[in-house]
């Protein structure tokens, strides 16, 4: 006799608790596994709102996460498909963002930055060994396992991750977050694992001084800086950083991807593997102060866009466009902090794929929301309106908090 089929409904295995976060098509909630009482984070995706392409991406994310098992990566424990919802059950990480934790510390040194980037590189190296390119390394995706001192750094959000064969490079589409995009992606050239190392270089630069190596309010100038690898080490903040730290940054922010250091090589760099001897242990108060402002700007800009979307009843088919431009993108904000993926490329009359139409709006005030006309079935009920008002209030509180913190 065949063994009885295991129960597959999410509610049979897990008890849903409070909400932890929210996205355009999904909500993340704490949940408790009934059989063990272990706590997890459940990403609940409303599949009714997804296109066929979105389904493919969801399957890709789950497939990639299933094969990654590393102490510095948020682990996928379960994947359950139901009629209208898909549930991804991950590690419950409670320590918040790495960058937020750093500014709350009483002491932070170059050696601490070395330990942080080592853990990030360990996670990236594991990805690359398993043929995975993350494509969206940024502060928002670097979390801490818990609030305990010395908690492990965890790499999260594999929504843009892709699978590659060996060191194969190809054009996989325009994807990532503007301030962390590599030159080869911006030039629309074939790329591979090295795009993650470039992003690590940007992150390491920020970890050491609290501001990014590439920055401009103008999108085109920002991209020109990145493509040229035009960054420097201004005085006085960089005067106290060791030459070995700068050397590692230089090898990560090498414009030619074929000459860029790999994750495995970076882990063997003296500033990483011999940090006790090489890295400075002097407290970097200026870095902490700058990082507080950097964090506040990130939060403020993200909250502004989210508020705009919430107040305009942003739907799954809404598009965000820049005034005066005919091209469209799926998600867009300022020039540095929001993830973008240009997968839905258009074809011209000859059937040629046009990959040059991605536009990232320069500032939130230049964004307009274009929503399709609602049918009577789409008009929100009173309960939905109430929920939306509560969401707007919550986001407004985040805005106020971000403003108050600098």
Q: Among candidates 149, 145, 128, 136, which has minimal Cα distance to 92?
A: 145
The sign one gets for the Cα dihedral 87, 90, 95, 98 is negative
Active-site residue (options: 12, 91, 101, 136): 136
Relative to beta strand 340-342, strand 319-322 is unpaired
Indicate the SS3 state at residue 132: strand
Dihedral sign for Cα 202, 208, 210, 213, please.
negative
Tell which residue, 229, 140, 134, has the closest CA to residue 191: 134
Distance of CA 234 to the CA centre of its chain: 28
Q: Could you identify the residue written with the tokens 């431009």? A: 325
Q: Is 43 annotated as a binding residue?
A: yes
Closest CA to 70 of 108, 136, 137, 119: 119
Q: 390, exposed or middle or buried, with CB in 10 Å at 0-12, 13-18, 19+?
A: exposed
Please tell me whether residue 353 adopts helix, strand or coil conformation.
strand
With 0-12 / 13-18 / 19 or more C-beta atoms within 10 angstroms meaning exposed / middle / buried, residue 391 is middle
C-alpha span between 84 and 27 (Å, rounded): 14
Catalytic residue check, 216: no
- DSSP H/E element including 62: helix 52-66
Q: Which residues are annotated as a binding site for ATP?
A: 43
Residues with a catalytic annotation lie at: 136
């Amino acid at each position: 006799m065949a063994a009885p089929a295991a129960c597959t409904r999410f509610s049979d295995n897990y008890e849903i608790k409070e909400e932890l976060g929210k996205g355009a098509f999904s909500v993340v909630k704490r949940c408790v596994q009934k059989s063990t009482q272990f706590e997890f984070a459940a990403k609940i995706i409303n599949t009714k709102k997804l296109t066929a392409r979105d389904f493919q991406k969801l399957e890709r994310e789950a497939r990639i996460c299933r094969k990654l098992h590393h102490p510095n990566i948020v682990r996928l424990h379960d994947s359950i498909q139901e009629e209208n919802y898909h549930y991804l059950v991950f590690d419950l990480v409670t320590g918040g963002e790495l960058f937020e934790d750093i500014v709350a510390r009483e002491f932070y040194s170059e050696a601490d930055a070395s330990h942080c980037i080592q853990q990030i590189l360990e996670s990236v190296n594991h990805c690359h060994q398993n043929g995975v390119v993350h494509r969206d390394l940024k502060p928002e995706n670097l979390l801490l396992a818990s609030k305990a001192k010395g908690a492990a750094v965890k790499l999260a959000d594999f929504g843009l991750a892709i699978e590659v064969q060996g060191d194969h490079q190809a054009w996989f589409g325009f994807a990532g977050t503007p301030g962390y995009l590599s030159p080869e992606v911006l030039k629309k050239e074939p790329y591979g694992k090295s795009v993650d190392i470039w992003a690590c270089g940007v992150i390491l630069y920020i970890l050491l001084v609290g501001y990014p190596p590439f920055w401009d309010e103008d999108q085109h100038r920002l991209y020109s800086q990145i493509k040229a690898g035009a960054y420097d080490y201004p005085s006085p903040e960089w005067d106290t950083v060791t030459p070995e730290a700068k050397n590692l940054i230089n090898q990560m922010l090498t414009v030619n991807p074929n000459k860029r250091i790999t994750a495995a090589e970076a882990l063997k760099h003296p500033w990483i593997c011999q940090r006790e001897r090489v890295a400075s242990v002097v407290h970097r108060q200026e870095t902490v102060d700058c990082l507080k402002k950097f964090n506040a700007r990130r939060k403020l800009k993200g909250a502004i866009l989210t508020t705009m979307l919430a107040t305009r009843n942003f739907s799954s088919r809404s598009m965000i466009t820049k005034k005066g431009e005919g091209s469209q993108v799926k998600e867009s904000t300022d020039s540095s902090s929001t993830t973008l993926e240009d997968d839905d490329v258009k074809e011209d009359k000859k059937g040629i794929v046009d990959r040059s139409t991605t536009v990232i709006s320069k500032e939130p005030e230049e964004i307009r929301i274009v929503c399709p006309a609602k049918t009577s079935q789409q008009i929100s009920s009173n309960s939905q309106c109430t929920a939306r008002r509560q969401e707007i209030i919550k986001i407004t509180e985040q805005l106020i908090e971000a403003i108050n913190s600098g």
